[in-house]
Amino acid sequence: FIKNMITGTSQADCAILIIAGGTGEFEAGISKDGQTREHALLAFTLGVRQLIVAVNKMDTTKDRFQEIIKETSTFIKKVGYNPKSVAFVPISGWHGDNMLEESTNMPWFKGWTKETKAGVVKGKTLLDAIDAIEPPVRPSDKPLRLPLQDVYKIG
């Protein structure tokens, strides 16, 4: 998983950190050697400065979502992200809740808010959060650079 994650992240403008909201699953991912923690650290280390946190399996309660936001905010701040500039979206991939359209299954969720250079941005779904990504300035006046993934010798 990590090799594929590094390959994709090295060219990304934003990372979407999918966190399992199930009891025990979140705790395992955010533990000292957890993959959630490792992926957030690698994304920041590779230069990805925009982050979206989607909390999956959130067809449960507001209290659990708030607990996950609190703990995740603490550790992404240590990594280098500003939690105020991160959209936290509760989703249910199984039911499609808050993915493309606002869900009626989570009446407690009033939407996410994040701070950007342009001001405060608000939304309700994962798609809204993706649409709110600020495209980075590209040095189009510079020579072309292409990332290489593998080199093969023939012959």
Is residue 9 included in any domain, yes or no?
A: yes
Domain containing 120 — which CATH number? 3.40.50.300
Is residue 143 included in any domain, yes or no?
A: no
Is residue 87 included in any domain, yes or no?
A: yes
Q: How many residues can be counted in the chain?
A: 155
Long-range (24+ apart) CB contacts under 8 A made by 124-129 are 124/98, 125/89, 125/98, 125/99, 125/100, 125/101, 126/16, 126/52, 126/54, 126/89, 126/91, 126/98, 126/99, 126/100, 127/99, 127/100, 128/87, 129/52, 129/54, 129/87, 129/89
Per-residue pLDDT of the chain in tens (155 residues, 90 and over written 9): 677 777 778 788 999 999 998 888 888 988 888 888 999 999 999 989 999 999 998 766 788 999 999 999 999 999 999 999 999 999 988 888 999 999 888 889 999 999 998 899 999 999 999 999 998 888 889 999 887 778 899 98
Is residue 72 included in any domain, yes or no?
A: yes
Q: What is the total count of domains within the chain?
A: 1
Is residue 140 included in any domain, yes or no?
A: no
Is residue 66 included in any domain, yes or no?
A: yes
Domain of residue 50, residue span: 2-131
Is residue 99 included in any domain, yes or no?
A: yes
In angstroms, rounded to a whole number, what is the distance separating the alpha carbons of residues 65 and 88? 9
